[in-house]
Every structure is written in C-alpha cells, then in structure tokens.
Structure 1
Amino acid sequence: MNRVVHPIEQESFRRLRARLDTSRFPPLTRAVVERVVHSSADLEYATDLVMDEAELERAHAALHAGAPVVADVEMVAAGITRRETVCRLRDARPGPGLTRSAHAVRLAYEEVGPGAVWVIGCAPTALEELLTLDASPALVIGLPVGFVGAAESKAALRESGLPAVSNVSEKGGSAVAAAALNALLYHPLSTEETL
C-alpha cells in the first residue's frame, strides 16, 4: 500500500532540506534524520542522533518481514502509523526497585520474545530494563527524554552493542521515537526516493 503524502508534508520536507543538507547521509540514516527533524523542528538532531546504516538495513528488512514492534508508552504507539504495536504499560505495576515502565518492558518481552523492534521514547527506566533482558532485538530505538537518566540510559544502549538508534543529549520523546520508526516503515524496499 502506497502512502499518500499531503502537500503540507511535502512542503515541510522541502523547507527542511533547504535548511539542512542531508545528502551526505546513506539512505536509511537520511530517512531517520529527516523524519526526526521533521517531527521536532529541531535541526540539531542531525548531529545528535547516533545510528549505523548496516543495522538500519537489517532492522528495515526485519520490519518489512513482520517483526513485532514494542512501544514503551501509548503516546509512542499512537505515533506509529503503519504498524500495530505492543504496549503493556496499562498492565504494568511498579514494585520494589521496579518502575511501571520497566515492568511493562518485562511484560512485553514475555509476549513478543526475541527479534522485536523496541521503540522507547519516554522512560529511561524502560530502556534500562530492556538492557537487562536477553531480548536479541532487531533494533532498539532508544530516545527517552528527561534530565534524570535519559542521556545515561542512551549511553548504556550504545555501549551495549545492540543495534540501535539513539542520541547523545537529554532530548528525545514520544514523537521523535515514533518518527524514527516511521522512517523505516515508510522507506520502500527499493531504492526509490521517499519523503
């Protein structure tokens, strides 16, 4: 199914590309950078995001082959427009040393097992919990936001060696995490140009 791109979105990407040269990026990296910048109107993401094109290619293939997608919160899930997601936050309960978000990650892992694409845009504790599991993810989009633990959890993700999209700073959030995943979902399997 081809996605219909609204003229406002087309104009937004035209203006984005007029202000930010993304031509130096390989195709999937470019798609993620542009979609995240588009969702945030924050050009700094072009230098703040950290990802590897080969990992994105493998994740792209996994997504298009039907890999499950897990979101840490419902706002992330709501922003993912072309795929059903698993989000277990409503079922989660905090416990001693375990936040509700961390428990939701455990519940989601029990449901989907290894090989999923994890999209974390809110809670650093969700990302921290994921790193303790043997999840063997196809990709972790780790873009939690905040002044407590966000930058540290993203640094831990990069140090883990798991295939990932992250960023260096404290910024992030549900919209940018969903945008990064949407970039991979929207990008065709062929090399034709997309928005």
Structure 2
Amino acid sequence: MNTRTIHPIEEQSYEILRSRVDLSPMPPLWRAVAERVIHASADLEYAVDLVTDEAHLRRGLRALRAGAPVVTDVAMVAAGITGRETICSVGDPAAARMARAAGITRSAAAIRLSYAEVGRGAIWVVGCAPTALEEIIARDVDPALVIGLPVGFVGAAESKEALRKSGLPAVSNVSEKGGSAVAAAALNALLYYEGTAEEEEGNP
C-alpha cells in the first residue's frame, strides 16, 4: 500500500470527473480503476467501456501487495507506472532474435522472455501490442491479473475480446481505444488503493 501526497491539480481533476459521471454504484476497486483511467485520459466513455470483475481486481491487489512481479509489453507502459519496478523485455536483443527465428512479433517474443523470468502469478500490463496480449493468453501464464488495454484499429478490440473469453482474471475494454497511459493508470489505481482488508476480500 502506498501513501501518496496528492497534488491539488489531481484533486481538482477528480472533483470535475465526479461532477460529470457518477461511478459510486461501482464496487470500490472497479471504481478506483475506472476513475484513474478517466483521470489519465479525460475520456468519460471508459465508465462504460471498461470490463472487469471485482474478484479479479482483489486478486490483483493481493498479488501486488505480496510483491508479485509486474510485466509490461512496452517501455511506455513501464514509464507510467509509479512506485513499482517493472519488467519489460521488448528492448532485449534476445527478443528480436527470437522473433526472427519463431516468425512472431517482437512483442510476443518479449512475453515469452518475460515469462521465462517471472513464471506464474505475475501481473501483466499491456497497453500497446495486441500480439503481446494474444501471447499471454496462448502461453497459459497463470497470471494474478492481466491488464489488457492495447490500442489500435488492427487486432486491439479482437485481442481484448479474446482475453475476456479466456477466463483469465483481467481488466479490458470493449472498444479499439486504450494505450500505454490508460494501462499504466489501471495498474496505478491498484498501487494507490488504500482500502481496508475487508474491502479487499469483498466483505462489508
């Protein structure tokens, strides 16, 4: 759990956000993720575009607090995550070699390399590459949580739909939008969350 000093601009942003969309009916972790994503993107449509499950978010939160590794698909996602070290293999020369040898994208190869390093139970955060998300699904990585919010007109919405159908604990969205900033924001929402143990377990 992180104790943060909140800047007045962030406080004002949340005040404006809450004056424009009422997310209070949402469960606490889902609301925290939705608000943080909307705050990062200034896009109110995420209130209805995000798809997750409170039990999935509780699982991710517990894993984060237990020290689970966080893996990102690209450096831009890693740059947006605060207060936590991350693993990103896309820039590793071995990812390029594996991609050429296996006939896959570098992003998919990076997922294979990262999984070899972290094993099961990690948090996976994808904000750019649909092929990275597809590799996570295909690899059976047994994640604590997958934040799958890649952006784009080619494969992004389809990869997120596949994530939802996979049954993996996940945060995704229905539309083609997404990106590094919103993926990092979703993870930051859990890192910043200061709820009680009862809320984490879903008890009143």
Q: TM-score, normalised by structure 2?
A: 0.92
Partner of 1:174: 180
Partner of 2:202: none
Partner of 2:193: 187
Q: What do residues 145-169 of structure 1 show as CA deviations (whole Å, max 9, x unaligned)?
A: 0000000000000000000000000
Q: CA-atom RMSD, angstroms?
A: 1.2
Unmatched segments (≥5 aa) in structure 2: 199-204
CA distance 1:191–1:114, change in 2 (3 Å): closer
Partner of 1:81: 82
1:85-96 maps to which residues of 2 (within 5 A)? 85-91=86-92, 92-93=95-96, 94-95=99-100, 96=102
1:123 matches 2:97: no
The number of residues matched between the two structures is 192
User: Please, which moves more after superposition, 86-95 or 100-109?
Assistant: 86-95
Partner of 1:32: 33
In 2, distance between residues paired with 1:191 and 1:104?
35
Partner of 2:50: 49
Q: Which of the numbers 149, 158, 163 marks the counterpart of 1:157? A: 163
In 1, distance between residues paired with 2:103 and 2:38?
35
In 2, distance between residues paired with 1:36 and 1:134?
27
In 1, distance between residues paired with 2:195 and 2:66?
11
In 2, distance between residues paired with 1:82 and 1:73?
17
1:7 matches 2:13: no
Unmatched segments (≥5 aa) in structure 1: none
Q: CA deviation at 1:178?
A: 0.2
Greater helix content: 2
1:139-154 maps to which residues of 2 (within 5 A)? 139-154=145-160
Q: CA deviation at 1:2?
A: 1.5
1:21 matches 2:27: no
In 2, distance between residues paired with 1:67 and 1:42?
30
Q: What do residues 85-107 of structure 1 show as CA deviations (whole Å, max 9, x unaligned)?
A: 00001112132530000000000
In 2, distance between residues paired with 1:191 and 1:43?
29
After superposing on structure 2, the runs of 4+ consecutive aligned residues of structure 1 that deviate more than 6 Å are none
In 1, distance between residues paired with 2:197 and 2:124?
25
Give the partner amino acid of 1:121: G
Q: TM-score, normalised by structure 1?
A: 0.96
In 1, distance between residues paired with 2:135 and 2:62?
26
Give the partner amino acid of 2:49: D
In 2, distance between residues paired with 1:12 and 1:114?
37
